[in-house]
Amino acid sequence: MSAGAQAHTRPFQTDPRPRLKVEQVSYAYSATDRSAPKFILGPVTFEAQQRELIAILGPNASGKSTLLKLLAGVMKPLSGRVEVDGAEVGGLDSRTRAQKIALVQQESELLFPLRVWEYVLQGRYPYGRRLRFESDEDCLMAGNALAQVGADALRDRWMEQLSGGEKQRVILARALSQQPALLLLDEPTQHLDIGGKVELLRRLRKLADENRYTVVVVTHELNLAAEFSDRIVLLQKGKPLRIGTPAQVYQRDLLEEVFEAPLEVELRVTGRPRVILRGSH
C-alpha cells in the first residue's frame, strides 16, 4: 500500500505536536521614525497540526497578509512568537526557513521567458550550495511537485503561455518542490474563475490530507473557506475576532458586522455553513 493511499484511509490521524504554533503575535509599524507606532495586528494565538487547512478571512486591510508574512518569517513580530516544528521562525537562517515554509504570493511579472520546469526547479534553491548545479534528486522532486498539482503535461511549456489556472498550479508546484512542512498562500484564488477556485481549494485540501502539509490560506472566498478548511481565523482591523471551525465562526451577526453586508448563514447537512447574500427587497 502506498503512503498516499494509507494516508487517505486514515485522514484524521495526526501527530499530536502542533506543527505551527502562533503565540500572542502582534505587529505594528511607524510611518516615520518619530511617529508613534500604529498597531495593525494582534495579538493572535492559534495552533495548526499536520494535515490541517486553516483559512484567514477578513475584509480588506484587516491584517490578513501581514499575519501571513509573520507566519512566513519574512517579517518579524513586534511581540510574541511563531514556531514551526518547535523552532522559532525568526531565528532560522533564510535557507533553513525556506526548507520548512513555502509562501505563495501574487507572482511578479517575468522579465525573460522561462520554461515551466525551470521555474519549478527554482524551488530547490534552499537545498543547493551557492553554485551547485541541480542534481537528479532536484529534478525528481520538481517532477513530483508538478505531478502533485496535475501539471505534468505543462513541463516544457513557456510560463507566459499558461492560462491563469495553469500558472497558479505551476506556482504551487514550485512551492511544493521546496518540500515545506508549512504551505502559506496569499489570496491564491484572486485571478481564477469559479471552476479554477474550486479546483485549487480541492487540491490544497488533498495536499493537506494525503501529503501531510499544513496549509494556511488567506482568501476572500467565504463559501470555499467554509467548504474546505478545518478552521477559520477571522480578522477585523487587525484583531482576531474569532478562531474556530467554520460552523463556530460563521455566525450571521458576526459576519454581517465584519463584512458590512446583509448576509444569511445556513448550516448544511454536511455540518459546514454556507453564506448567501440577503436580498434587500
Residues 5, 9, 33, 133: which binds other proteins (CB under 8 A)?
133
Our CB check for other proteins shows the closer of 12 and 112 to be: 112
In angstroms, give the least distance from the CB of 261 to other proteins. Answer: 30
Q: Which among 78-86, 97-105, 195-203, 211-219 is the span making contact with other proteins, rule CB under 8 A?
A: 97-105
For cell 490544497, the residue is: 204
Backbone φ/ψ region at 53: left (φ over 0), alpha (ψ -120 to 50), beta: beta
In angstroms, give the least distance from the CB of 76 to other proteins. Answer: 13
C-alpha dist (Å) from residue 165 to 56, 119, 151, 183:
22, 16, 11, 18
Our CB check for other proteins shows the closer of 110 and 194 to be: 110
In angstroms, give the least distance from the CB of 94 to other proteins. Answer: 4
For cell 507606532, the residue is: 37
Question: What are 89's three cell numbers?
Answer: 521562525
Round to whole Å and give the CA distance between 58 and 233: 8
243, 231 contact by CB (below 8 A): yes
Round to whole Å and give the CA distance between 157 and 96: 30
For 29-38, the CB contacts below 8 A with 24+ separation are 37/78
Residues 1, 31, 36, 111: which binds other proteins (CB under 8 A)?
111
Q: What count of residues does the chain have?
A: 281
For cell 503561455, the residue is: 161
Residues numbered 57-76 forming contacts with other proteins, rule: CB under 8 A: 72, 74
In angstroms, give the least distance from the CB of 36 to other proteins. Answer: 21
For cell 511563531, the residue is: 82
C-alpha dist (Å) from residue 254 to 158, 237, 260, 271:
45, 14, 10, 19
| Helix locations, the chain, DSSP H | 3-9, 64-72, 94-100, 116-121, 136-148, 164-176, 194-211, 222-228, 246-249, 252-259
Residues 102, 192, 225, 233: which binds other proteins (CB under 8 A)?
102
For cell 436580498, the residue is: 279
Is residue 131 within the footprint of other proteins (CB under 8 A)?
A: yes
Is residue 155 within the footprint of other proteins (CB under 8 A)?
A: yes
In angstroms, give the least distance from the CB of 172 to other proteins. Answer: 13
Is residue 122 within the footprint of other proteins (CB under 8 A)?
A: yes
Residues 7, 143, 191, 198: which binds other proteins (CB under 8 A)?
143
Q: How many chain residues bind other proteins (CB under 8 A)?
A: 38
Our CB check for other proteins shows the closer of 95 and 278 to be: 95
Round to whole Å and give the CA distance between 36 and 34: 7
Q: Which among 120-128, 190-198, 199-207, 221-229 is the span making contact with other proteins, rule CB under 8 A?
A: 120-128
Is residue 2 within the footprint of other proteins (CB under 8 A)?
A: no
In angstroms, give the least distance from the CB of 30 to other proteins. Answer: 15
For binding to other proteins (CB under 8 A), which residues are involved?
A: 72, 74, 94-99, 102-103, 105, 107-108, 110-114, 117-119, 121-123, 125-126, 128, 130-134, 138-139, 142-143, 155, 178
